[in-house]
Chains A and B, each alone.
Chain A
Amino acid sequence: SYELTQTPSVSVSPGQTARITCSGDALPNQYAYWYQQKAGQAPVLLIYKDNERPSGIPERFSASTSGTTVTLTISGVQAEDEADYLCQSADTSGTWVFGGGTKLTVL
């Protein structure tokens, strides 16, 4: 079955830039979505259709695509950004899949 691969963990200091990647063979042809999930809470949509931000999501969250990899960038990381970040996309049949998640630790 189709998989989206994410690095399990990323650590950055406050104010630095965090980059979280998600890889999948179908990503060149399918939109990617990103979610933030803080401990004990439901996910929150951060990015839709590869690089669009829903209203209310800070500008420090952005995303880009390059071939089979999509990247979520968090500029000027804040302590409150410590969370799990998950990507979502679809395989060639349109079945949705989530990545395994990346735990962002703010040092």
Chain B
Amino acid sequence: EVHLVQSGTEVKKPGESLKISCKGSGYTFNTYWIGWVRQMPGKGLKWMGIIYPGDSNTRYSPSFQGQFTMSADKSINTAYLQLSSLKASDTAIYYCARIHRELTGDGFDIWGQGTVVTVSS
């Protein structure tokens, strides 16, 4: 069965950094794009960017340019989202999700469980 499992809840202070992981299983991880999506408290979804683990090719949403970094280690089937200089406004749930281009086009067909990030002094 296909799964994306994300790292656990994070509580950080303003100015700190964090790195969220997303580990895939049940499929060939390095041949599917992985996207990152933010959901602020009580709000909708916002697409942040995508990464292709096979060659770490990335595409960032213009809305988030420079605010975070995506990376991947295909040897351990894991993608990462790194947030730096955290602000209270970074408080959100961050999801990773798979894109199955051949089947579902640009739809995210498999989602991680989400990582809750709280930034507070």
Contact indicator A101/B106 (Cβ below 8 Å): no
Contact indicator B107/A48 (Cβ below 8 Å): yes
One of B103, B106, B111, B114 near A90 (C-beta < 8 A): B106
Q: Which of A7-66 contact B (CB under 8 A)?
A: 31, 33, 35, 37, 42-45, 48-49, 52, 54
Contact indicator A45/B104 (Cβ below 8 Å): yes
One of B62, B109, B113 near A45 (C-beta < 8 A): B109
Task: Confirm or deny: B67 has a beta carbon within 8 angstroms of a beta carbon on chain A.
Answer: no
Sorting the interface of chain A by its residue count into under 10, 10 to 19, 20 to 34 or 35 or more gives 20 to 34
B108 to chain A, nearest CB (A): 6
Contact indicator A88/B44 (Cβ below 8 Å): no
Task: Confirm or deny: B89 has a beta carbon within 8 angstroms of a beta carbon on chain A.
Answer: no
Which secondary structure dominates where chain A touches chain B?
Answer: strand
The CA-CA distance from A90 to B44 in the complex, in Å, is: 16
Contact indicator A43/B95 (Cβ below 8 Å): yes
Shortest Cβ distance from A52 into B: residue: B104
Contact indicator A43/B45 (Cβ below 8 Å): yes
The CA-CA distance from A42 to B111 in the complex, in Å, is: 7
Contact indicator B112/A99 (Cβ below 8 Å): no
B112: chain A residues at CB < 8 Å are 42
Given A43-B45, A96-B61, check contact A88 B107 (CB 8 Å).
yes
Task: Confirm or deny: A97 has a beta carbon within 8 angstroms of a beta carbon on chain B.
Answer: yes
Q: Which of B84-113 contact A (CB under 8 A)?
A: 95, 97, 103-109, 111-113
A98: chain B residues at CB < 8 Å are 37, 44-47
Contact indicator A45/B45 (Cβ below 8 Å): no
A51 to chain B, nearest CB (A): 12
A48: chain B residues at CB < 8 Å are 103-105, 107, 109
Which 4 residue pairs of A and B lie closest in terms of their CB atoms, listed nearest first?
Answer: A48-B107, A48-B104, A42-B111, A98-B45
Instruction: Identify the A interface with B (CB < 8 A).
Output: 1, 31, 33, 35, 37, 42-45, 48-49, 52, 54, 84, 86, 88, 90, 95-101
